[in-house]
Structure 1
Amino acid sequence: MDIVSPILEKAGASYVINKLIDAATGYVQDQYYWKTDLQGELQNLGRLLPQIQAVVDFAEPRLTMYESSNPALIKWLWQFRNGIDEAEDVLDDLEYIELEKKANSDKSRLSRRVDASVKAAKRLLKFDDVLGRLRACVKNLNTFASDVQNFLALVTQTVGIGTGQMRYYHSSRITNPLPVLSFKGREDEKGKIIQYLLGESVEKSEMWINESVHCLPLVAIGGMGKTVLAKQVFHHFENVKKKHFDIKIWVCDSLPDLNASSLIKKILEYQTGGSESGPLERLPVKLQKILHSKRFLLVLDDVWDDNNQTEWEKLCAPLVYSQKGSWIILTTRLRSVAKMISKVIRSTMEPMILRGLSNDECRSLLYEHAFSGEDPNKFPLLKEIGEEIVEKLKGVPLLAKSIGGALNSKLEADHWTSISRSELWQMPIDSKYEFNPVLTLSYVMLPPRLKRCFSYCSIFPQDYQFKKQKLVCMWVAADLIYKDELEDGLDEEDIANRCFDILCNKSFFDVHTYSRSLSRSQMLFCQRYSLYDFKEDFYTMHDMLNGLACHVSRYECCRIVHDTPSHILDNNVIRHIYVTGSHAQLHDLAKIVSKLKHLRTLWINYHGDPQKLDDCIRYACKSSRRIRVLIMESNYSRSSYQCLKSINDFLKLRFLEMTGLLLPP
């Protein structure tokens, strides 16, 4: 159960070492004193590469029971991973030098001769910093590689650790994109909710007559389809009954403590399509004016706070100025949340409790994902095994989709049997995990590259909506994508797009299509050129899959959200971090970040004094020179010139996103 993301990929190690050998050989060809030593070490590294590949290939799929696995192998993998990362840094420096050469190619012949003479003199006198790092890097890799002999005996073993009869597969069947999936199993509930919202079958009582806003809580355990049902209803009033509600808003609040100001800000931003940067105390008044005498439908998705009645009252205060017939649909795992909102909105209905799907509905959903367009009747043996799995799903739609994606990897009986008979089905749901243990089956069947891409997504906050292109670029920038010998015709972005599509087809991501808000000039342009597709696709991860990603990536990725304790961080292994905090915590968080030796992704979400954000970035980036991905989010549009100066010398930075910060002219 204690599964983690691969520490080191066979493809990645091979790619970096081979590239390092080629680059180093070319770089040192005109230097003298170090040539013989370095060339010998490069040749030795090349000789050891097959043995390294064998050990890494063995270790990749067996990183289960992490704490009780072979500790020496785990330590060696991390040490070698650090050496590989250092090699990538040196390769980046060498690539930068080559780009600099091309940029300076228009210099005069005399100037180029002077530059070449200076560089030759530096090398002769051993002043070349890059060459020094290159030699140290190769030496370190050789030191770690020489230990590979200690682990070669493990390669002959065939039994995995801690997974019963589970088998691991390093390849994934390439399938066509999933067809548009039909809505399964909640038609009765959907129809009933639509009737409620239309006022056709609401159970009226005397105290409801003068109420402008009604609330319907949808309550169920995680993965039971609350959000999907709410979206079906929401889309019905966007596409079929468009005019029934004047305003339709969808917001998600997955934090344990409700913050009325933050949620009102989200509501306003959804409605206006812009960013709200005014004083927080003015936001309720602005929302009240927008909703005045309007009938609205508001979906509050994934709500957890069942204790803070004051914040609930602040949130609901502007809503009562709306027209009669306005509705709130609330989704939550806790009946106590429904009880809390009923104290604030008197016309709150009895919660609708969602039960599991029937076996027929669950089977249909499972097969839709498992066979992905293939006719199930062509596979009678698989259907027989599938019946065993349907019984174990207990009617949970999320499990049906995720396990279906895992089955889809191989339409072969032994693969399906290994999933059906996994011991993970017997594991109880433990409160320390934020996901159902059975979901792990959908993860362990992925090849190492997809495991690392999925686990990286733990950097996204819960319920975060992202675009495909953003995640693809982040994967590439963070060095998660390596080409193997079969992918010579593809670049890293092509491979990353392919990885995204596979994960999406296996239901790790959910797609949501929204109509874009266009300005008047954009609308006129589109009309002029007959462009009518105003829709955009955004993606999310179910919070249980987000919890799974956090679990498997816990040694490399971290989200520091307000009061997360800092002692959980291991400065030697953390590579990717998401940070959000208050004024008081920001400096402490910057100290933590500055100590992370191998940091590659830094994402700071801070809505406060922009000067403090500038200070934080400067401090945090003092020693984090390996950062490839930098995202800064703020609600202030003041110039952040000092912040830009702080990152000016980040030669390895490949992805920069600044939201809410005004760039200087």
Structure 2
Amino acid sequence: MAEAVLTDVAKEILSKLIPLVTEQIGLFWGFNDELTRLRDSVELIQSVLADADRRQEREEAVRLWLRRLKDLAYDADDVLDELAYEILRRKVEIRNQMKRKVCFFFSFSNPIAFRIKMANKVKTISESLKRINEEADRFGLAREKLVNAILAIIPNRETDSFIDHSEVVGRGDHVLEIVDLLLSATNQQLSVIPIVGMAGLGKTTVAKLVYNHELVKRHFDKTIWVCVSDDFNDKRILREALESLTHQPSALENKNTILECLKKELQGKRYLLILDDVWNEVPMKWNTLRNCLLGINSSVGNSIILTTRSDNVAKITETIPQHNLKKLSKDECWSIIKKKVSLNERVQLTLELEAIGRDIAKKCGGVPLAAEVLGGTMSRKKEKSEWLAIQNNEIWNSLNVSNEMLPILKLSFDHLPSPSLKHCFAYCSIFPKDYRINKEELIQLWMAEGFLQPSLGSCLVMEDIGNICFDILLGNSLFQDEEKDDYDNIIICKMHDLVHDLALLVSKSETLILNEDLVDELPCSIGLLIHLRLLSISSTSIEALPKAITKLYNLQTLRIEGCYNLKELPEDLKNLINLRHIYFNGYEIGQTPKGLGQLTCLQTLQCFVVGQGTGFQIEELGCLNQLKGKLDIRRLEHVKDKEASKNAKLVEKAKVYKLGFYWSGNREGNHNNDEEVLEGLQPHRYLKSLRIDGFGGEKFPSWMLTSHDARDGFLLYDNLINIKLIDCKKCEVLPTLGLLPCLRDLEISGMDNVRSIGTEFYGNYNDGGYDKILFPCLRSLELGGCKI
């Protein structure tokens, strides 16, 4: 099973090579014959991969052949990448009109020397591929017609950060029993209830249901959740308990300080602490943590629920007998599968399919995780033959008692619809267990690895394919515990421990896990990493980025958030013409690098700091048509007039859903042009969040103010969820907000000249024409620093 991903790696790289080679053939490098031979060899090898995959498990020679093929495919990929890099380098030089008077013959820039070098590399790879093909013939590998896998888009699950009780099957009695135990344990200072069960049985799910139970919320003053896993470090557990209580990250390292903070939070309070996924079987470690908790709070009625697979853990911790989680019935497993399948309307659940499905449910052995994962797989299978392939898979005959879940999960992995998707899943083994995986960053990592290449003629970009892959893995329950932002976008997910074990298993030969290290400087030699697609140096003490970084023409993602010592970015950042995502803290950078508008592939630019002079002004945003997500524009006092701000073309950037407009608070001089600048910054009508900070005008722009008939102005922005108006000190009138149908959070502060809130704020003009509910979705209203 450890070699399971080997064939998929080879398939994925080879499928990527063909369009890359075809593209290079059309560029007249001078060695087109060699490139054509390379493409033909790749196509021949592709046709035998299906047979090689079947035979590698039992034939060592075929397995070794696949390994050599994989290594050679990587070499070919690097050569084609080098050719592509040279094209990008020439584009940048032509664009920047760099005229060299002297060109050393043997330099990398010399076209003749470069062609000779690359022709030799391509010839070497072609000859190696020819030998690989000859070996395939000697092994008698059958050649089959290639079938391209298509990633189907499946419906997203509608869930939130809290557990959905309607999706939990067969656990109601367990929850009520544990709730009763908690409510009756009022005479002990600290009672401990272990929930014990095998992997995938739903221990964490039951703990969540108890944690969120209405009776529990009323009984306990404070509830705390800590995921322990295999690192049973009392100081870490106590610090994370403090973070759970305060909802703030803590950098405290002194144990006594942490205990004092916990004591302050819990003094005189009755609390419930969930310790999820406990593995520690050393009594002394448990007693150390327990004594700390007893010293924090001397009240009676405090409780701990811990989840564990180990009876030994339960024995050393319990004050109340352990609660053993039972397996589900076959009907309950079928209920889980049926719910997953019903999410895909294209699967017609006939009586034949139901009979097959019920038999598969029985094979799940009462384990909800198995039913969840297989249900996700079956939701993408429309044909009876596909369901039968799962039902009759030989894996069911080889299950062993010691670890019967992994082969079942492996069955779901085998049925993922494409090699690239399998590669994306296996890549997730680089994360530690219980890690909160950032969806956006994960997709960018997949991109950097080359897993998300669009097929020829496809209108999808890499980010689109990444989102589809993520949704499929989530729909298959290979990802779980998703968290959403205020705008209903999934931003975080996790992997179940067993699923993580599967990812490690299938990626054994492909994964390198490095430990964190402190970084305070990047060497100039980083410019030699011409294949680099993603560079993340966030939260380091780096003070400057070397100029050589601007030669990384293949770079797609640059992450430099939290680099508090970094005050400026390299001047020639505009040379990174492939850059799609850049993350940095705008309030620390003096101004955005010159000519950023030339990065026309840019999709993520969370902050633009307006400067003075050509290449630094707000007009640079006008060419960035692909921008999406969040965009803050700072130092707007440097914008000349309405025409300049209009040239940012925000009204055309329909994928930007969160906008922030900032004027510096300590600026000198008059604010005469603030009104016309903001007038020109009119956004598109699908905006979800708007912040205006430090605006010095007396009135808001026409696109925010609503006329007497209340049919224009801000009312066109009916998707707005969040609005913040901060330190707009000279404004006298508030915009009409009361009729915005989706407005949920509103903050108004520091508006010194607003003396009263009139009917224009609500949108009610007492003319009999308005019977709508005012602020129909408002949940949060903050008013401060206003002289009302």
- TM-score range for the pair, normalised by the shorter chain length: 0.7 to 0.9
> What does the per-residue CA deviation read over 1:534-586, in whole Å, with 9 as the maximum and x for residues that have no partner?
996521111111000000001011xxxxxxxxxxxxxxxxxxx3323xxxxxx
Q: Note if 1:46 corresponds to 2:46.
A: no
Number of the residue aligned with 2:173? 188
Offset of 1:24 from its aligned partner? 6.3
The alignment of Structure 1 onto Structure 2 pairs a total of residues equal to 553
Q: Is 1:392 matched with 2:384? A: no
Structure 1 partner of 2:288:
313
Q: Does 1:220 align with 2:197?
A: yes
Structure-2 residue corresponding to 1:410: 381
- Taking the aligned partners of 1:649 and 1:327, their CA distance within structure 2 comes to 58
Return the alpha-carbon distance in structure 1 between the equivalents of residues 118 and 219 of structure 2: 68
In structure 1, the partner of 2:725 is: none
Alpha-carbon deviation of 1:289?
2.5
Could you tell me which residue of structure 1 aligns to residue 580 of structure 2? none
| Distance in 2 of aligned mates of 1:127 and 1:661 | 39
Q: 1:56 to 1:98 in 2, by over 3 A?
A: farther
SS in 2 for 1:417: helix
Map of 1:662 onto structure 2:
564
Contact 2:210 2:216 in 1 (8 A): no
2:142 corresponds in structure 1 to 156
Identity of aligned pairs, percent? 28
Partner SS, residue 226 of structure 2: strand
In 2, the alpha carbon distance for the partners of 1:275 and 1:443 equals: 36
Structure 2 residue corresponding to 1:338, chosen from 308, 314, 317: 314
Say yes or no: does 1:176 pair with 2:155.
Answer: yes
Structure 1: gaps of 5 or more residues:
29-34, 159-167, 343-347, 517-531, 558-576, 581-603
The alpha-carbon distance between structure 1 residues 351 and 641, as it changes in their structure 2 partners (threshold 3 A), is same
What corresponds to 2:128 in structure 1? Answer: 144
The 1:241–1:278 alpha-carbon spacing in structure 2 relative to 1, beyond 3 Å, is closer
Distance verdict in 2 for CA 1:271–1:365, change over 3 Å: same
Asked if 1:304 corresponds to 2:279, the answer is yes
Partner of 1:19: 20
Change (3 A) 1:543 1:507: same
Matching residue of 2:729 = none
Report the AA paired with residue 57 of structure 2. Answer: M
Q: Distance in 1 between matches of 2:59 and 2:237?
A: 40
Corresponding residue number in structure 1 for 2:4 = 4
Counterpart in the other structure of 2:447? 476
Residue deviations 1:274-313 (CA, integer Å, cap 9, x gap): 4322333332333233222233332211111111523551
Structure 2 partner of 1:491: 461
Give 2:514's aligned residue: 579
- Post-superposition Cα deviations, 1:49-98, rounded to whole Å, max 9, x if no partner, equal 43133234554x54862873614422332232222331354145225404
User: In structure 2, what is the Cα distance between the partners aligned to 1:430 and 1:100?
Assistant: 61
- 1: CA distance, partners of 2:401 / 2:57: 16
- Alignment root-mean-square deviation, CA: 3.8
For residue 21 of structure 1, report the CA deviation from its aligned partner.
Answer: 4.6
Distance 1:619 1:135, change over 3 A: same
SS in 2 for 1:253: strand
Aligned-partner Cα distance in 2 for 1:376–1:423: 25
Q: Is the 8 A contact 2:239 2:252 kept in 1?
A: no
Matched, 1:261 2:235: yes
Separation in structure 2 between the aligned mates of residue 13 and residue 417 of structure 1, nearest angstrom: 31
Contact 1:4–1:552 (Cα < 8 Å) also in 2: yes
1:621, 1:646 within 8 Å by CA — same for their partners in 2? yes
Q: Which residue of 1 aligns with 2:483?
A: 513
- Residue 568 of structure 1 corresponds to which residue in structure 2? none
- Once residues 61 and 345 of structure 2 are traced to their aligned partners in structure 1, the CA distance between those partners, rounded to angstroms, is 40
Q: Give the conservation status (yes or no) of the 8 Å contact 1:9–1:449.
A: no
Distance 1:434 1:233 in 2: 28
- For residues 430 and 535 of structure 1, do their structure 2 counterparts lie closer, same or farther at Cα, with a shift above 3 Å needed? same
State TM-score, norm by structure 2: 0.63
1:75 maps onto 2:60 in alignment: no
Q: Is the 8 A contact 1:263 1:315 kept in 2?
A: no
**What SS does the aligned partner of 2:306 have?**
strand
CA distance 1:229–1:659, change in 2 (3 Å): farther
Where relative contact order (Cα < 8 A, 6+ residues apart) is larger, the structure is 1
**1:229 aligned to 2:131?**
no
- Aligned pair partner of 1:93 in 85, 93, 96: 85
Q: Relative to 1, partners in 2 of residues 1:247 and 1:662: Cα closer, same or farther, differing over 3 Å?
A: farther
Distance 2:545 2:314 in 1: 44
CA displacement at 1:155 relative to structure 2? 4.8
Residue in 2 aligned with 1:134?
A: 118
Structure 1 letter corresponding to 2:388: T
Q: Retained in 2: the 8 A contact 1:264–1:315?
A: no
Write the letter of the residue equivalent to 2:191.
H
Is the contact made by 1:362 and 1:395 (CA closer than 8 Å) also made in structure 2? Answer: yes
Relative distance call for 1:252 and 1:241 in structure 2 (3 A) is closer
CA contact (8 A) 1:213 1:320 kept: no
Residue 599 of structure 1 corresponds to which residue in structure 2? Answer: none
Compute the TM-score of the two structures, normalised by the length of structure 1. 0.73
Match of 2:631 in 1: none
> Residues 392-471 of structure 1: matches in 2 within 5 Å?
392-429=363-400, 436-446=406-416, 447-471=418-442
Structure 2 unpaired stretches of 5+ = 160-165, 568-788
- Over 3 Å counting, the alpha-carbon distance change for 1:18 and 1:320 in structure 2 is same
**SS of 1:156's equivalent?**
coil
Cα displacement (A) at 1:122? 5.7
Counterpart position of 1:356: 327
Distance 1:71 1:535 in 2: 42
Amino acid at match of 2:249: S
Give SS of 2:386's match.
helix
Moved more, 463-472 or 350-359: 463-472
Contact 2:278 2:308 in 1 (8 A): yes
Secondary structure (helix, strand or coil) at the match of 1:249 reads strand
* Match 2:245 to one of 267, 271, 284: 271
- CA deviation digits over 1:4-47, x for unaligned, max 9? 2145354542433432453465373xxxxxx3xx2321232233
**Secondary structure, counterpart of 2:27 in structure 1:** helix
Please point out which of 468, 490, 496 is paired with 1:542: 496
Alpha-carbon distance change, 316 to 442 in structure 1, aligned in 2, over 3 angstroms: farther
Provide the rounded CA distance (Å) in 1 between the counterparts of 2:59 and 2:294.
51
Is the alpha carbon distance of 1:463 and 1:128 closer, same or farther for their aligned partners in structure 2, counting shifts above 3 Å? Answer: farther
The 1:24/1:417 distance shift into structure 2, 3 A limit, reads: closer
Give the SS at the match of 2:210.
helix
Aligned AA for 1:146? K
Q: Is the 8 A contact 2:279 2:313 kept in 1?
A: yes
Query: Measured at CA, do residues 381 and 542 of structure 1 come closer, stay the same or move farther in structure 2, by a change above 3 Å?
Result: same
Mark the CA change 1:195 to 1:236 in structure 2 (over 3 Å): closer, same or farther.
same
Q: One-letter code of the match for 1:227?
A: T
Partner residue in 2 for 1:367: 338
AA matched with 1:504: L
Determine the C-alpha separation between the residues in 1 that align with 2:40 and 2:404: 45
Contact in 2 for aligned 1:24/1:134 (Cα 8 Å): no
Between the aligned partners of 1:370 and 1:135, the Cα distance in structure 2 is 52
| 8 Å CA contact 1:8, 1:81 repeated in 2 | no
Q: Is the 8 A contact 1:4 1:63 kept in 2?
A: no
Maintained 8 Å contact 1:12/1:482: no
Change (3 A) 1:466 1:2: closer
Instruction: Give the partner amino acid of 2:126.
Output: N
Mark the CA change 1:193 to 1:650 in structure 2 (over 3 Å): closer, same or farther: farther
- Per the TM alignment, residue 495 of structure 1 is displaced from its structure 2 partner at its CA by 0.8
2:543 is matched with which residue: 641, 652, 659? Answer: 641
Tell me the distance in 2 between the aligned counterparts of 1:377 and 1:285: 60
